[in-house]
Structure 1
Amino acid sequence: MTNQTHSSLSTREKVEKSMAKRRAAETRFRVYGMASILFGLLCLVVLFGDILSKGTSAFSQTVVKQTIMLDADYLGLTAQSTDKEIRRANFEGLIKKHLKKSYKPKGRKARRALYGMISAGAAWQLMEAVQADRELLDSELTIAMLADDAVDQWFKHDRDRGYNDQFSEFQLSVLNSWVESGDLYTRFNKLFFTNGDSREPELAGIHGAIKGTLLTLLVTFLLSFPIGVAAAIYLEEFAPRNRLTELVEININNLAAVPSITFGLLGLAIFINMFGVARSTPLVGGLVLTLMTLPTIIISGRAAIKAVPPSIREAAFGLGASKMQVVFHHVLPLALPGMLTGAIIGMAQALGETAPLLMIGMIAFVVDVPGFINDPSTVLPVQIFLWSDSPERAFMERTSGAIIVLLGFLIVMNTAAVWLRRRLERRW
C-alpha cells in the first residue's frame, strides 16, 4: 500500500512538473509575442514620428511683407493693358528696384545676395495682383512676397539654433530687421497643393502629381475591375476543370507575387514599343498598373464567389433559373461587396507603386498639371522619388510632406475597404 501511494505521488509530481514547464513555455511564448508586437508598434511610431517631424513644416511657407510702388511707367502698363502685356511686364526688375532703394546694398555682390533672398515667384504674385485689379497701377501695394528656400529654412529651422553660415553679414542684418519688424513670418503653404513641380523648392507643389495619380487610378479601376470580375466569374462558375484551367489558376497566383518592376518592363515592351502609346501619361500608367492589380482582383473575386453559400445556387436552380441567371441575379450581387473590397485594396497597392512607372517614363520633370489621360504627368510616389534625390534641404522637407499626403490617401482607401466590407457583407 505504501509503495502504491509512493508511486502515485511520484506520478503526480511528474505531471505537476510537466504542467509547470508547459505553463512556463506558454508564458514565454506570450511574452515573445507581446514583445514582437510592441517592437513593431515602436518601429511604426518612430517611422511616422520622423516623417511628421520633418514633413509638417512643408505645409507652411515663409513670406516677406513689403510695400511696393507699382510704377506704371517703369512697367510700361496702363489701366487698359491686356493680360498678355501684363505678363510681359518686368515685375522682377520692379522688385529689385524696390529692394535696392529700401536696403541700399553696397556692391554688385551684395545686390545679388539681397535679390536672391526673394523667390522668383514674387514677380508672379505682383503680376497676378495687377491682372486682378489694374487700378493698383501707380499706387503702393502691401504684399507678402515668397521668400527664397534658403530664407525659409533659416526662419523655420536654423534661426533658433544659431545656424547663420549660409548668409553674409549684410543678409543677416536684413533678415534680422525683417524678424524684428514682423515682416518675416510663415503662413499656410497653399502653393504646395495648387502648384505643379518646379526647380525652385518654394514654388514646388503636388497638384500635378495628385491629379496624375487620380487619372492613373481612374484608368486602372475602369480596366482592372470589370476584367478582374469577369475573369473571376468565368474561372469559378463556367470554366471546365481540366489541366488548362489549373495552369491558368496557378499562373494567376504566381503573378500576384511577381516583382512590380516586371510589369513595368512588360508595359514598356507592349504598350509603348509595340502599340506606340505615349510615355509618361496616365493612360500608359493605368494600363501597366492594370496588369499588376488584375491578379489581386481576380483572387479576391474568386474568394468572394466561393463565400456565397451553395444553398443560394440550389434554391435558384430549384426554381428553374438558368446558369446565367443564377450567377448574375443571385451569386454576383452577393459576392460584389467582397469584390469591391479586393478592388480597393488593389487600388491602394497601385497607389504606392513606383518601380513599374519609372520604366514607362513617368519619372520625367513635368511642370504643367495634366488635363486628361493622354497629357504628360507624374504620380505622387514618383514625385516623392524625384524630390528625395534633390540636394536642397527644402525639397527634403517637401518629400516628407508629400509622404504624409500619400499616407493619408492610403489610410482613406484602406478605411473605405474595411467600411465597405462591414457595411455590405452578408453573414450566413
Structure 2
Amino acid sequence: MTDPLLRVAERKIPRVRQSLAKRHKQESRFRFYGIASILSVMTFLVFLLGAIVTTGSSAFLTTEIQMTFTVDKSDAELSSRSLIRQALRDEFTEVSGREDRRKLYKFLSEESEYIVEDKIVAMPNSQRQLILWLPTGDRVNQFSKGKLKLDDKTGFSQSEYVWYKALDSQGRVRTTFNWRFFTNGDSRNPEVAGVAGALVGSILTLLVTMSLSFPIGVGAAIYLEEYAPKNRLTDFIEININNLAAVPSIVFGLLGLAIFLNVLGLPRSTPIVGGLVLTLMTLPTIIISSRASLKAVPPSIRDGALAMGASRTQVVFHHVLPLALPGMLTGSIIGMAQALGETAPLLMIGMVAFIVDIPGGFTDAATALPVQIFLWSENPERGFVELTSAAIMLLLVFLFLMNGLAIYLRRKLERRW
C-alpha cells in the first residue's frame, strides 16, 4: 500500500520545481540588472574621465617663439612693448596693413612684455643683445596644438600661417611643458594663466577648516557620546546635527556672508573667511563620524578601565579616544575632501574675484580651485577650455589622494572587535 504522504509529495513536486525555476529566473534577472547598472555607471565614468583627459591634456604643453632684441638701456623711451613690436616688424617687413599688424602683434602673448621688461632690468649694462623664448598668443598656441584649423574666416588665417611657417623653418618655434600652469596665477590670457593662486588659496582655506573643524567636531562628539545626559535637549541637538549634514552648501555661504562679512566685518574673499564657512559645513559630518567611531569601541574597554580605578575622563581620553581616533581621522579627511570640491559657499563670500597674485597669508585676497574652474569655464577664449579640463584633472587628483589616504588610515589603524 502506498503511503498517503508520498502521494501528496508526488503531487506537490511539480509545483515545487516550478516555484524553484521561477525563483532562479528572478535571481538571474536581478543579477543581470545589477551587473548592467554597474557597467553603465563604469561606462559613463570612463567616458567622462576620457573626455576631461582628452580635452585637458594639451593644457600641459605650450608653444614658445625665440626672439632676439637689441637693447639700448640708455634710451629713455625704451619700453618692452615697443621693443617687441619693433622686433616683429623687422622680422616681417612685408607686413604693412593695420589689420595685419594687429594680427602680427598678437603672435606673442601680452605676458611677453613683462618677461622682456624683467630681463632688461636684470641684464648688465654692457650687454646689448637679448635672446628669449617667449610665450605665443592663444591663436598661435592653439594652432600649434592642432586645436585651430587653417581658415581665413574663423580659424588661423593664411598670413598667420605664413609667418608661423617662416619662424618654424628657422627652428624658432618649440612646444614645451607648460610650467606656467603650475607657477602662475590667473590671467586674462589663457596661454599664461595658471592655478598656483587658486591652489594656494585652497590649501590655506583647508588649513583653517581642518584646524577648527577637527577639534570642535571631536570635542562635540565626545561630549554628546560620553558625557551628555539623555534628555530632550540632547535629542534636539542630535536631530539638528543630522539635519545640518543635509543642508545645501549654499546656505552656509549665506550664513557666512551675513555673519562673518556683514556683522564681524572680516575681509572679503580671503582664506580665513572661506575656512570659517567650510568649517560650519563640515562640522556635522565630522561630529557624526566621530560619534560612530566612539560607539564602535566595545563597552568592555570602558568597564575594564573603570574596574582598574580610572576616572571617567581617564577612560575617555586614555582608552576610548585612542581606539576611536582612526575612524575620526577618516571621517575628517572625507569631510575635507568634500570641502575641497565646494564652490557655492565660496561664491557667496566673494572668493569668485579675479585674483592674479598668489596669496601669501590667510588674510590676503584669494580664490579656490573649484571657483577657478568655474571662472575659466565662462571665458570665451579657446585656451580656457583646455585649462578648465586640466584644472578639473588636478582637482580630481587631490580628491583621489585624500580619499585614498582615508582608506589607507582606516585599513592600517582601525581595529576590528
Smaller-chain TM-score bracket: over 0.9
Partner of 1:20: 21
Shift, 1:394, TM fit = 0.6
Partner of 1:125: 115
Structure 2: gaps (5+ residues): none
**Local SS of the residue matching 1:202:** coil
How far apart in 1 are the matches of 2:184 and 2:168? Answer: 27
The answer as to whether partners of 2:151 and 2:158 remain within 8 angstroms in 1 is no
Whether 1:41 and 2:42 are equivalent positions in the alignment is yes
Partner of 1:80: none
Shift, 1:143, TM fit = 2.0
Shift, 1:144, TM fit = 1.5
- Which runs of structure 2 are paired with 1:35-184 in the superposition (5 Å)? 35-74=36-75, 89-104=78-93, 105-134=95-124, 137-139=127-129, 141-158=130-147, 162-163=150-151, 165=153, 166-184=155-173
Whether 1:371 and 2:360 are equivalent positions in the alignment is yes
Shift, 1:131, TM fit = 4.1
The answer as to whether partners of 1:158 and 1:164 remain within 8 angstroms in 2 is no
Shift, 1:70, TM fit = 3.0
**What are the superposed Cα offsets for residues 94-119 of structure 1, whole Å, 9 maximum, x if unpaired?**
11111101111122322221111111
- TM-score using structure 2 length: 0.95
- Give aligned pairs, total: 414
**What are the superposed Cα offsets for residues 299-347 of structure 1, whole Å, 9 maximum, x if unpaired?**
0000010111111101110011111110011111111111111110000
Partner of 2:32: 31
How far apart in 1 are the matches of 2:411 and 2:122? Answer: 50
Partner of 1:232: 221
The Cα RMSD (Å) is 1.7
Partner of 1:8: 9
How far apart in 2 are the matches of 1:294 and 1:361? Answer: 22
Greater alpha carbon shift after TM alignment, 167-176 vs 323-332: 167-176
How far apart in 2 are the matches of 1:370 and 1:381? Answer: 16
Partner of 1:187: 176
**Local SS of the residue matching 1:134:** coil
Partner AA of 1:68 in structure 2: F
Partner AA of 2:188 in structure 1: R
Partner of 1:347: 336
**What are the superposed Cα offsets for residues 28-62 of structure 1, whole Å, 9 maximum, x if unpaired?**
10010000000000010010000000111111111
Distance 1:380 1:136, change over 3 A: farther
- Which runs of structure 2 are paired with 1:315-394 in the superposition (5 Å)? 315-394=304-383
The answer as to whether partners of 2:256 and 2:349 remain within 8 angstroms in 1 is yes
- TM-score using structure 1 length: 0.93
Q: Which runs of 4+ in 1 moved over 4 A?
A: 1-7, 73-76, 161-164
Partner AA of 1:35 in structure 2: A
How far apart in 2 are the matches of 1:171 and 1:319? Answer: 85
Partner AA of 2:243 in structure 1: N
Shift, 1:9, TM fit = 3.0
The answer as to whether partners of 1:384 and 1:403 remain within 8 angstroms in 2 is yes
Partner of 1:222: 211
The answer as to whether partners of 1:75 and 1:91 remain within 8 angstroms in 2 is no
Structure 1: gaps (5+ residues): 77-88
**Residue 425 of structure 1: which of 410, 414, 417 is its match?**
414
**What are the superposed Cα offsets for residues 226-263 of structure 1, whole Å, 9 maximum, x if unpaired?**
00000000000000000100000000000000000000
Partner of 1:405: 394
Partner of 2:248: 259
Partner AA of 1:26 in structure 2: E
The percentage of aligned residue pairs carrying the same residue is 55
Whether 1:277 and 2:278 are equivalent positions in the alignment is no
The answer as to whether partners of 2:185 and 2:356 remain within 8 angstroms in 1 is yes
Distance 1:30 1:163, change over 3 A: farther
**What are the superposed Cα offsets for residues 63-120 of structure 1, whole Å, 9 maximum, x if unpaired?**
11223333434477xxxxxxxxxxxx51121111111011111223222211111111
How far apart in 2 are the matches of 1:19 and 1:147? Answer: 72
Whether 1:311 and 2:300 are equivalent positions in the alignment is yes
How far apart in 1 are the matches of 2:163 and 2:251? Answer: 54
How far apart in 1 are the matches of 2:416 and 2:57? Answer: 43
**Local SS of the residue matching 1:33:** helix
